[in-house]
Amino acid sequence: MLKLPAVLTHAVASEFFRTVAKDALPVGKAVRVDAGALQQFDSSALAVLLECRRQALAAGMTFAVLGAPQRLLQLADVYGVADLIPAAGPVSPAL
Condensed to tens digits (0 to 9), the pLDDT of residues 34-57 reads 999 999 999 999 999 998 899 889
Q: Per the structure, how many domains does the chain have?
A: 1
Determine, yes or no, domain membership for 38.
yes
Determine, yes or no, domain membership for 92.
no
Determine, yes or no, domain membership for 93.
no
- CA-CA distances (angstroms) from residue 11 to 15, 56, 82? 8, 24, 23
pLDDT band at 91 (very low <50, low <70, confident <90, very high): low
> What strands, in cross-sheet order, belong to the sheet with 62-66?
2-3, 30-34, 62-66
The CATH number assigned to the domain holding 67 equals: 3.30.750.24
Segments forming the whole domain that contains residue 38: 2-84
pLDDT greater than 90 at residue 73: yes
| Cβ neighbours, 10 Å, residue 11 | 10
pLDDT greater than 70 at residue 93: no
CA distance 63 to 2: 11
pTM of the model: 0.85
Chain centroid, CA 82 distance in Å: 12
Determine, yes or no, domain membership for 18.
yes
Determine, yes or no, domain membership for 89.
no
